[in-house]
Amino acid sequence: MTPPTPSAATPLEVIDESVEKSPSPSTPKGNESRSPGRLAWKRFRRDRTGVISAYIVIFFFVIAIAAPLIAKLYGKDPYTTYASQRPELLNAFSYPAGPNGGMSSEFWFGIEPQLGRDVFTFLLYAIRTSLGIAVAATILTTVVGVVIGVTAGYLGGRTDYLVGRIIDIVLSFPSTLFFIAFMPVIYGIFVAADDDVPTWLRATAMIILMAAFGWASIARLLRGQVLGLREREFVEAAKVTGASPMRIVFKELLPNLATPIIIQSTLMLPAFVTAEAGLAFLGVGMIDPTPDWGVMIQRGAQFYTEDLTFMLFPGLSMVIFVLAFNLLGDSVRDALDPKSKR
Amino acid sequence: MFRFLVRRVIGAMVILLIISAITFWLFYAVPRDPAMMSCGKNCTPEALAQIRSNLGIDKPIPVQFWEWLQGAFMGREYAGYGHCDAPCLGYSFANREPVFGTIMDRLPLTLSLAFGAALVFLVLGVGAGMIAALKQGKFLDKFASSASLFGSSLQIYFVGYIAMYFLVSKMGVLDQPSYTPLTENPGAWFSGLLLPWLVLAIIFTANYTRMTRSQLVEQLSEDYVRTARAKGLSQANVFFRFAWRGAMGPIVTVFGIDLGTLIGGAMITEATFSLQGIGRLAVASVNQSDLPMLMGVTVLAAGAIVFFNIIVDAVYALIDPRIRLA
């Protein structure tokens, strides 16, 4: 059940820090000695696409973190239905009265059709929600995947076999379908049938489910890497000198696994962003009135033929974010692992 | 080769069995009682018990699962419905239709969607990747590479609506997506699904271009390709019989995964284009807590993934003798 996977994202060789570091760093020889991390940073800074993408990604994260502050300075919030106070904002068909979705100096990105909320603040908070969930899911998935993968690879034998089979099964699950199917299951555990599901529970359920189906691929990759590293001389040496398994895992193995872990998580984050939005789009994840990229697109889909502007803001901002993050991921991969081919 | 396939099929059956057991247990262990829901407000304990036994959920979960399995392979007797023939996946809680029949009604659409799109993006993607690999570093290569990265950052639920807005509503070049069975009217079948195919192709092509290019570039720099050239073989011969054959493996793998995902995970595509396939069926059955239907769709989707895994393994073994012999 394990077809050989393409190694596009997989570094073909492990960076052998122990060799690069081995002459003790007290030999300057006129040149300053450079750690692998410093070398990677230098390579990354030369990559113009990567640097620009990094700025875009940072911009999105700053917006997400500072959303309440920006909204305060701007003087509006994403929940107020401005049209109910000022009916002149929408026309007789409940579409924005002004041109381009009602964009004006007061409502920068226009007004939402029907309910008349402010698109600019709604988008700010949408980015905040979506990125928050995706980041949390990425961290949780990476931690779980690393722990399971390294344990399986390091212990080997029966544990490894068992974990390998579990990974096979998890990877055979139709994951989108399971997201959709399990959300009600999780809600059902915490909330009585007729009550509303609180927003925090929706977010938590989503994060847990994403991690529950996401850990397998990173665990499989790391397991393979650890199997290779375990036989290497520097690990043998550590064992012979009486290092505890904890020390071997944290001091010998993990530093060598940093590259694949970072690469995998940069691939994971944009995937989680789009998956989260997709679920909200289907009406299974976050729901209106919680601001969310997917919720916005779902709202936009209801009246895209009449007011495309409203759909363009969440759609384009998401494309820009995902594209920038993918480019950034490529550059990080090139910087950390120059030997790998794309 | 035969033994290899048999081993794979047995492994796949075991995985499918485990997945259906887990799914069954998880879905049926939900605290929300479907009998309560269909019983309504003035529900007496007797009526509740009757509904339970009609739905077949009055027994312990392992027994229910065993009966479900029996139904799937041999057919079974249903208290409320009478006999149900061999591939019997139960009856829907929501509309009392047989699950298997409903799935079979919806499947042609999802399959048309998946295979049609797959054909388009495979041809475009591999073609563009080949051109990019041949013209390394030239304009075409750069264009194909950057276009592919852009394409893979797009989402169906955004591009789909944009395409419908411009191509259908504004310009009227393409038809509003709809489904007509192929056997009924091939022309309508084609024009109804053309837009979804193209949108899916925009998104998926990217990956194949990138992969084909990088695989071919790698293969073209191998020693055996140089040897073939040195022998004086023609450019086309070297390219297709030597380099391409070596490059095919990973592409076949990803293609198998994508086909499984397209069939088992078509919810977003079908929701975007308002098509009533397996994906919409799944979402609807979640919203209605229709467990037997959801169970049927899940097993079908997992089956599709596992099935294409086997196909990939078999194709891989055909391409690469090392795997067959190992």
Domain spans of chain A? 48-340
Q: Please name the residue of chain A whose CA is at the shortest distance from the CA of residue B264.
A: A174
Distance from CA of B283 to the nearest CA of A (A): 7
Select from B80, B84, B113, B115 the least CA-distant residue to B101. B84
* pLDDT tens, residue by residue, B91-105: 877 777 888 888 888
Tokens of B21: 């057991």
Q: Which residues of A touch B262 (CB under 8 A)?
A: none
Contact A319 B18 (CB under 8 A): no
B122 pLDDT higher than 50: yes
Provide the CATH topology of domain A48-340.
Answer: MetI-like fold (1.10.3720)
A276: chain B residues, CB-CB within 8 Å? none
Query: What gap in Å lies between CA A135 and CA A141, rounded to an integer?
Result: 10
Question: pTM here?
Answer: 0.82
Q: What is the dihedral of CA B185, B190, B192, B193, to 10 degrees?
A: 140
Residues of chain B in contact with residue A1, where contact means CB-CB under 8 angstroms, are: 8, 11-12, 15, 306, 309
Crossing angle of helices B2-28 and B291-319, in 10° steps, is 160
Interchain pair A304, B297: CB under 8 A: no
The CA R_g of chain A, rounded to the nearest whole Å, is 24
Whether residue A99 contacts residue A152, with contact meaning beta carbons closer than 8 Å, is answered with no
Provide CB contacts within 8 A for A33, sequence distance 6+: A25, A27
d(CA A31, CA A22): 17
Q: Which of B155, B256, B323 sits opposite A274 (nearest CB)?
A: B155
Q: Are A216 and A145 in contact (CB under 8 A)?
A: yes
* Contact by Cβ (8 Å): B116, B193: yes
Q: Which residues of B touch A208 (CB under 8 A)?
A: none
Question: What domains are there in chain B, each with its CATH number?
Answer: 13-84 (no CATH), 99-319 (1.10.3720.10)
Among chain B residues, CA nearest to A174: B302
Structure ipTM: 0.80
Instruction: Kindly determine whether residue A319 and residue B155, on different chains, have CB atoms separated by under 8 Å.
Output: yes
CB contact under 8 A, B286 and A278: no
Name which of A240, A263, A170, A200 is nearest B19 in CA terms. A170
Per-residue pLDDT of chain A (342 residues; tens, 9 = 90+): 444 444 444 444 444 444 444 444 444 455 667 787 788 888 888 888 889 999 999 999 999 998 888 888 887 788 877 777 777 777 777 777 777 777 777 777 878 877 778 888 889 999 999 999 999 999 999 999 999 999 898 888 888 889 988 898 888 777 788 888 878 777 777 776 667 778 888 888 889 989 988 899 899 889 888 888 888 888 889 889 988 888 888 888 888 888 889 888 888 899 899 989 998 888 888 887 888 998 989 888 888 888 888 888 899 999 999 999 988 888 888 888 776 544
At A94, phi and psi to the nearest 5?
Answer: 65, 25
pLDDT digits (tens, 9 = 90+) for B229-262: 898 888 888 888 888 888 888 888 888 888 888 8
Tell me whether residues B250 and A327 touch, CB distance under 8 A: no
Residues of A in contact with B316 (CB under 8 A): 3-4
